[in-house]
Amino acid sequence: MQADYLDGNALAGPLAEIFAADVSAAVSRCAACGQTGPVASLRVYDRAPGLVARCPGCEEVVLRLVRSPDSAWLDLRGAVTLRIPLRDGTGPGGQR
Amino acid sequence: MTRWRVARLTKVRDENGTARTLVFDVPDWPGHLAGQHVDVKLTAGDGYSARRSYSLAGPEGVELTVQRVPDGEVSPYLTLDMEPGDELELRGPVGGWFVWRPDGPAPVLLVAGGAGIVPLMAMIRARRAAGADTPFRLVYAVRSPEQLCYTDELLRPDPGVSVSLAYTRRAPEGHPRPPGRLTAADLGPYGEADCYVCGPTGFVESAAALLVGLGHDPARIRTERFGPTGD
Amino acid sequence: MTTFTRGFHGRRRGEDDRLPPGQYLAEDFPVLSAGPTPHVPLDRWEFTIDTEAGQTHRWTWQELTALPYEEPVVDIHCVTSWSKLGTTWRGVSLDVLFEDVESTADYALVYSYGGYTTNLPLDDLMDGKAWIAYRYDGEDLTPSHGGPARLLVPHLYFWKSAKWVHGIRLLTEDWPGFWETAGYHNYGDPWREQRYADD
């Protein structure tokens, strides 16, 4: 099968536009199969009208992001939770 | 929140026949961790714009190494046409997962496929800049000698860093390893380590599977894939 | 404020009055996908139309490809801003498939192998405007382009032309699909540049 996806690292830039914390380092739990893992390890399909991040375990959609000129549409219904690490004194990307 | 910043090209350096390092001046650059990347945006005179992601190649400042993709849209411009003084827009640094921090105590195994060397080189350089003594091992797979980046720097002795090259199609004369796909023997024997794998999607899949097969904990294998067209 | 990058032109863009606003001419046929490519064996493939009254009409691969086909030559327009002019397809007109379907529904939800969905008014599938296409440019439709069969509804942005089409549900109420629930326009007319929900 053709490998036609990236990993969740590719979400870091587009999500950095929305969130103050780095979401690619967050841990998500898949609403379909319950698998947990870093957002960075999701499978991201970016050759599409938007970004579609799927669970590496069950391939269900965990997150969708569409950027129009004036809005970002974020659908997180495929994620039960996001655990976002917050370090003291860190900014976007975790650097000081 | 991360905004687009204007980046002005200050210096270029050819790494080989098809890869070029570009050094940008970005006012108020906040600094970054080794392994992070930036998104760049290029806008043509008629308003058409294209975006790509590139890994930062060094521990300080904004230095990108770009591999030219034949028939690509952005990489030919960056590697052939862009001149010092020209500007593009850039967002970052981004990505807090595929990063190495100099205070990390665990030994590190880096596995690069082709242009996947870039963020791993940033880790080697960050280690050197921090004076860290964490043991590093790099396995760098490239198709042929012409595709190597950072050759002189990698071949220069760096205490605590071991470098092995795996040519997949054609090796230089006298190279001890015959050309061929990356195997478990290239990555072994197993030693406890934080693993970082970067390269094209297919390479990353197979290298990560080899590492798991050797006994590495999947939770300690971090990957970064390039898409089918990192052009 | 936009910073222009001197000397950057990007892909060559043609001027053509067949190009809707904001579209560029593609020379290749870009492959877009929101998920893994499903591979459906032809002996298990089927196409269904489910009516609002609960009736199901079903076609196997043999049955579908035995129906009278057309060979439309159409321009296609992807919302990611590429267009491709004069593409040649072979497929069965939805008019043929709907011949024996009784329905007063106004809306259609198209669903695909792999879970993709897209919605459109039923009228947009009728009167020679839409096909279940199974050949492209003289060849069997490849999985990467939506094979064995995809919906072809070229007067709307191409995300409406669902790849790996599995069936159509007829509905009395509109039910937005995969991209339509994520910020894309509910109708998607390229000539009115209906890309995003608020356009």
User: Residues of B at the C interface (Cβ-Cβ below 8 Å)?
Assistant: 6, 42-50, 73-74, 77, 81-83, 86-89
Do B1 and A16 lie within an 8 Å CB cutoff?
yes
Looking at residue B72, its pLDDT comes to 87
**pLDDT at residue B1, as a whole number:** 57
The structural domains of chain B, ordered by start, are: 4-94 (2.40.30.10), 108-224 (3.40.50.80)
Rounded-to-10 torsion of CA B231, C4, C8, C9: 100
Do the chains contact at A47 and C36, CB–CB below 8 Å? no
pLDDT in the model for residue C14: 64
* CB nearest to C13's CB, from B48, B82, B88: B48
Q: Which residues of B touch C6 (CB under 8 A)?
A: 86-87
Residue A71 lies in a domain: yes
User: Does residue A90 surpass a pLDDT of 80?
Assistant: no
- List the single residue in B with minimal CA-CA distance to A38: B97
**Which residue of chain C is at minimal alpha-carbon distance from B87?**
C5
Number of compact structural domains in chain C = 1
Query: Does residue A21 lie within any of the structural domains?
Result: yes
C106-151 residue pLDDT tens? 999 999 999 999 999 999 999 999 999 999 999 999 999 999 999 9
Phi/psi for C100 (5° steps) reads: -105, 15
* DSSP per residue, chain C: -PPP-TT---S-----TTSPTT-EE-SS-----SSPPP---TTT-EEEEE-TTS-EEEEEHHHHHHS--B--EEEEE-TTSEEEEEEEEEEEEHHHHTTT------EEEEEETTS-EEEEEGGGGSSSS-EEEEEETTEEPPGGGTTT-EEE-TTS-GGGS-TTEEEEEEESS----TTTTTTB-SS--GGGT--BTT-
Question: Taking CA atoms, what residue in A is nearest to B93?
Answer: A93
pTM as predicted: 0.87
List the single residue in B1, B93, B201 with the smallest CB-CB distance to A17.
B1
Count residue pairs from A and B with Cβ separation < 8 A: 103
Chain C residues lying within 8 Å of A63, measured CB to CB: none
Whether C31 and A66 lie within 8 Å, measured CB to CB: no
Chains with 3 or more CB pairs under 8 A to chain B: A, C
Confirm whether C156 is domain-assigned.
Answer: yes
**C7 contacts in B (CB within 8 Å)?**
77, 81-83, 86
Supply the range of the domain harboring residue C137. 47-192
Number of domains comprising chain A: 1
* pLDDT at A94 (0 to 100): 42
Residue C10 burial by Cβ neighbours in a 10 Å radius (0-12, 13-18, 19+): middle
Q: Give C104→chain A minimum CA distance, Å.
A: 32
Q: Is C7 inside a domain boundary?
A: no
ipTM of this complex: 0.89
Each residue's pLDDT tens digit, C60-109: 999 999 999 999 999 999 999 899 999 999 999 999 999 999 999 999 99
Query: Taking CB atoms and an 8 Å limit, are B1 and A39 in contact across chains?
Result: no
Of B43, B77, B81, the CB nearest to C3: B43
Residue C36 domain-assigned (yes or no): no
B168 CB neighbour count, 10 Å cutoff:
17
What's residue C184's pLDDT? 97
Q: Does A89 score more than 50 pLDDT? A: no
The CA distance from B139 to B113, in Å, is 9
**pLDDT for position B105:** 87
Residue A95 maps to a domain:
no
Q: Minimal Cα distance from A45: which residue of B?
A: B227
**C108 vs chain A: nearest CA distance in angstroms?**
21
The reply to whether residue C184 touches residue A49, judged by beta carbons under 8 angstroms, is: yes
> Looking at residue C30, what is its pLDDT?
87
Domain annotation covers residue C17: no
Chain C residues with beta carbon closer than 8 angstroms to that of B73: 10-11
How many angstroms separate the Cα of A90 from the Cα of each of B33, B123, C161, C173, C186? 12, 20, 45, 48, 40
Amino acid at B203: F
Contact A22 B226 (CB under 8 A): no
Size of interface A-C (CB pairs under 8 A): 63
pLDDT for A91 equals 45
Chain B, nearest residue to C9 by Cα: B44
Residue in chain A lying closest to B95 (CA): A12
How confident is the model over C8-67, as pLDDT tens digits? 988 766 667 889 998 988 878 889 999 999 999 999 999 999 999 999 999 999 999 999
Q: What is the pLDDT of residue C119?
A: 98
pLDDT at B229: 45
Subunits close to C (at least 3 CB pairs below 8 A): A, B
At residue C12, the pLDDT reads 60
Closest chain A CA to residue C196: A68
Residues of C in contact with B46 (CB under 8 A): 13
The domain spanning residue C65 has which CATH number? 3.90.420.10
Per-residue pLDDT of chain B (231 residues; tens, 9 = 90+): 578 999 999 999 999 999 999 999 999 999 999 999 999 999 998 888 888 999 999 999 999 999 998 888 899 999 999 999 999 999 999 999 999 999 988 999 999 999 999 999 999 999 999 999 999 999 999 999 999 999 999 999 999 999 999 999 999 999 999 999 999 999 999 999 999 999 998 999 999 999 999 999 999 999 999 754 456
